[in-house]
Structure 1
Amino acid sequence: MTPEQLLALEPGRELNRLVALKVMGYEQSRFQVGYVRKGAYATYPKHYSSDISAAWEVVERFPIVNLSRIEIFEGNYHHAVEIYADSETNEPSMVEAHTAPEAICKAALLAVMDKEE
């Protein structure tokens, strides 16, 4: 998936699934479409892209996936999130979105994608 395709995703099931797989350490369920699994249990991913408490779980996961810092800026009609990889020399992954959960999820995914390259 390209960064442009990722940024075009609306908050919802697919964005939540990508966060669960790429950031939160879940695996794709082989038995049920749309489900992820951790250990023996398959479940739908949490609402990371629309629920702020679930989005904060993504932020809490950053040390495990080697992301060092997050900055959140709140405006009247949008939120901006910058996520830095573990080196200060790296450019941040920055996303603007209508809600903080959406911005957190997309920025985290972009940062993880950058580290995979």
Structure 2
Amino acid sequence: MTREEILAMSTGKDMNLLIAEHVLGWIAWKEQRGEYTHVIFQRPGEREPYMRSQQWKTDQKRYEPIPFTEIDRMKHIVSGLKDWSSDISAAWEVEEKIKEIGGLMIGYYMTELMLIVRSNGFNMVHATPEQRCKAALLAILPGEE
């Protein structure tokens, strides 16, 4: 995605999916439940979703990883995402992840946030969840021309 595309995004599920994939490193799994297809998420360090059952070998057939680009909210029931782009307490989790990554990523994030809020630093404490998520995506994703 280009910088302009990220900055033009509105809050909501599309931005939250990008945060889950690129910032938080979640893995999406497609789970077939009867005639419905659900998308659930595995956080880093968690076991595969089918391993949560005592009959995991049987349940394994219902699950398969799905690329985030193939998630279609018209076809799939998506559950387990937080509203990072609208909820400030959820957005702080995104900032904690940036802090956990550490190193230059913190500097990249802070620079992007300063540019988005158009501030020399003071107004960054008043940044919205949307601004914080956009700064995280811009810091993490490689820029495309």
Same-fold call, TM cutoff 0.5: yes
Higher normalized contact order (CA 8 Å, seq sep 6+, divided by chain length): 2
Find out whether 1:53 has 2:81 as its counterpart: no
Partner of 1:111: 139
Matched residue type, 2:16? N
Change beyond 3 A, Cα 1:36–1:6 = farther
Further displaced range: 5-14 or 27-36: 27-36
Corresponding residue of 2:109? 83
Contact between 1:48 and 1:55, CA under 8 Å: does it hold in 2? Answer: yes
Residue 8 of structure 1 and its aligned partner are, at CA, apart by 1.0
TM norm structure 1: 0.66
* Number of residue pairs the alignment of both structures matches: 95
Gaps of 5+ in 2: 32-36, 50-77, 119-126
User: Partner of 1:108: helix, strand, or coil?
Assistant: helix
Cross-structure match for 2:20 = 20
Show CA shifts across 1:44-84 (max 9, x none).
31100000000000111113333225xxxxxxxxxxxx824
The structure-2 alpha-carbon separation of the partners of 1:3 and 1:53, relative to structure 1 and needing over 3 Å to count, comes to same
Would the aligned equivalents of 2:38 and 2:79 in 1 still touch at CA under 8 Å? no
1:34 Cα deviation (Å)? Answer: 6.1
SS in 2 for 1:18: helix
- Are residues 13 and 58 of structure 1, via their aligned partners in 2, closer, same or farther at CA, if it must alter by over 3 Å? same
Matches of 1:25 and 1:9 in 2, distance apart? Answer: 20
RMSD: 2.8
Match of 1:101 in 2: 129
Contact 1:6 1:106 in 2 (8 A): yes
Deviations 1:15-51 (A, max 9, x none): 0110111111202334457653324348431100000
Instruction: From the two aligned structures, give the one with the greater helix fraction.
Output: 2
TM-score normalised by length of structure 2: 0.54
2:84–2:129: 8 Å Cα contact kept in structure 1? yes
Is the radius of gyration larger for structure 1 or structure 2? 2
Contact 1:27 1:36 in 2 (8 A): yes
